[in-house]
């Protein structure tokens, strides 16, 4: 008898089918893009994606790296003696720096696969990544729309 798949396994399977991604790390990072894409225009909040990638790197890192990241966040990350306007963006942690590199690598990969595009310039002339491929949050098999931009997981 066939086992019943969990919702996350079904979402991963559907994401594989719709995007052509096969590697579990590719799918995990693509789902971070999906999670932080606006439901209507697909604009991706790239800073939040970088944060999620940083959390993935932290989860998969060695124990000494976790200790280094903790030490960094308790000293430089708390802005000891650093003026507020400089904050941590000028002093990124080792994992945050790596997360930005991973984000750039995957952004290029997803653009080449036709899953992510670049939005039209806004009033300030800046562009942002835009999810144009499959987004499991918009899949009616998994989520039900509840209001303008609300969604609820179907169980």
Closest CA to 5 of 151, 146, 141, 145: 141
In a domain, 98, yes or no: yes
Q: Count how many domains the chain has.
A: 1
| 129: three-class secondary structure by DSSP | strand
Asked if residues 103 and 95 have their Cβ atoms less than 8 Å apart, the reply is no
pLDDT the model gives residue 155: 66
Range of the domain at 124: 7-153
pLDDT the model gives residue 82: 58
pLDDT the model gives residue 100: 93
In a domain, 35, yes or no: yes
* Angle, CA 72 vertex, CA 66 and CA 78 arms, to 5°: 130
In a domain, 1, yes or no: no
Which of the two residues, 119 and 88, has the higher pLDDT score? 119
Residue 48: burial class (beta carbons within 10 Å; 0-12, 13-18, 19+):
middle
pLDDT the model gives residue 85: 56
Residue 130: burial class (beta carbons within 10 Å; 0-12, 13-18, 19+):
middle
| 25: three-class secondary structure by DSSP | helix
> Model confidence over 104-140: pLDDT tens digits?
999 999 999 999 988 877 777 788 898 898 887 777 7
In a domain, 67, yes or no: yes
For helices 46-60 and 63-74, give the axis angle rounded to 10 degrees: 130
> Which ranges constitute the DSSP H helices of 36-93?
46-60, 63-74
Residue 45 has pLDDT above 50, yes or no: yes
In a domain, 2, yes or no: no
> Model confidence over 59-75: pLDDT tens digits?
999 999 988 888 887 77
Would the CA dihedral through 90, 119, 98, 73 be positive or negative?
positive
> Model confidence over 9-19: pLDDT tens digits?
888 888 898 88
pLDDT the model gives residue 78: 58
In a domain, 66, yes or no: yes
């Amino acid at each position: 008898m066939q086992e019943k798949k969990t919702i996350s396994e079904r979402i991963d399977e559907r994401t594989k089918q719709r995007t052509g991604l096969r590697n579990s790390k590719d799918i995990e990072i693509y789902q971070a893009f999906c999670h932080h894409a606006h439901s209507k225009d697909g604009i991706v909040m790239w800073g939040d994606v970088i944060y999620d990638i940083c959390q993935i790197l932290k989860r998969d890192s060695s124990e000494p790296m976790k200790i280094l990241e903790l030490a960094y966040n308790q000293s430089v990350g708390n802005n000891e003696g650093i003026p507020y306007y400089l904050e941590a963006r000028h002093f990124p942690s080792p994992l945050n720096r790596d997360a930005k590199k991973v984000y750039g690598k995957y952004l290029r990969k997803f653009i080449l696969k036709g899953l992510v595009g670049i939005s039209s310039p806004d009033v300030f002339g800046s562009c942002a990544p835009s999810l144009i491929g499959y987004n499991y949050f918009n899949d009616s098999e998994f989520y039900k729309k509840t209001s303008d931009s609300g969604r609820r997981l179907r169980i």
